[in-house]
Amino acid sequence: MCKICLVCSQSSFDKIYNATLLKCQYCGFVTANTEVDSTILSSIYTENYFKGEEYVDYLRDKLILQKNFSKRIKTIQQQNSIEMSSALEIGCAYGFFAELFTQKFQNVPYIGYDIVPEAINYGQTILKQNILCNDYLTTSSANKEHSHVFMWDVIEHLPSPEKFIEKISYEIKDGGRLYITTGDIDRIIPRFQQEKWRMIHPPSHLHYFSKKTLSKLLEKYEFEIIEVTYPPVYRSIRLIFYSLFMLRKNPSNFIKKLYLLIPIKASVPINTYDIMFLIAQKKRKY
């Protein structure tokens, strides 16, 4: 099957990093050299994804994760270009962002989507949030409904992110804001580490954007880029240790004991300048 670049629609790629990834010869977009189907996705995104596979324990890290969400909400509050009338989150997981958002914007209708049943059940029953276990692409909603759309660390996971952006472009109001966080493969650390960069692990992470290629994709669907920044992110010290010494490894008993000695709530702000926070606005039609 001939692979087509989802950014520039060309079909010429170079194999990089031992053929793990493909890089478009025209625009530089990088994608995984693999194909995934619904069966593979269902096997990846289970409760285990949040408990030992991608995260040490997502639920235990709630307060740390919400530190980051709180910072993002402050940024959202500073963006006053359009009245906030309806919010959509794609990849809402357990509803941690939803909980903070609905507390801050009590009169703004919110809906979130994710495909992990256990996560959605927690968000619905424990946090009482309006989140649904569904693929956003299969949902129907009124044209020009949402004023704000959030995709936190999710676009790199989607088999067809261009289809999500196209649907968002159709449903978001003119002047509405789209907020995205994802890795930037063109930054210093990824260039230096190459195939050892922590973000490279298909088939979980399928796409590796840069500021340039993500901007091009969004512009293709009538978004204009407002701002791209690289803010620090609070990380669980346990998660950092786990990622460095235990994830996809066979850790010794000594390493396991060290891990258990780390306080669960211990966190630290880290900035490796390779995670971008992009804000885009749907072009207004006059």
**Chain segment 237-271, per-residue pLDDT in tens:** 887 888 788 877 888 999 989 988 988 888 899 99
Euclidean distance between CA atoms 37 and 47, whole angstroms: 19
What is the rounded average pLDDT for all residues in the chain? 92
Beta carbons within 8 Å of 260's beta carbon, 6+ residues apart: none
What's the pLDDT score for residue 5?
97
Average pLDDT (80-109) is 93
Q: Which residue shows structure tokens 């210093």? A: 188
Instruction: Report whether pLDDT(88) > 80.
Output: yes
What's the pLDDT score for residue 142?
58
Q: How far apart are the first and last CA of the chain?
A: 42
Rg (CA), the chain: 19
Q: Which residues pair with 269 in a beta bridge?
A: 234
What's the pLDDT score for residue 47?
80
**Confidence label for 144 from pLDDT (cuts 50, 70 and 90):** low
More confident residue, 244 or 150: 150
Residue 216 near residue 27, CB atoms below 8 Å: yes
Residue 10 vs residues 19, 166, 184, 241: alpha-carbon distances, Å: 19, 18, 21, 40
CA 96-237-246 angle, to 5 degrees, is 105
Q: Element (H or E) spanning 227, and its range?
A: strand 223-229
Q: Which domains does the chain have, with CATH numbers?
A: 37-182+209-228+275-282 (3.40.50.150), 233-270 (no CATH)
Average pLDDT (161-170) is 97
Euclidean distance between CA atoms 36 and 90, whole angstroms: 19
Average pLDDT (81-85) is 83
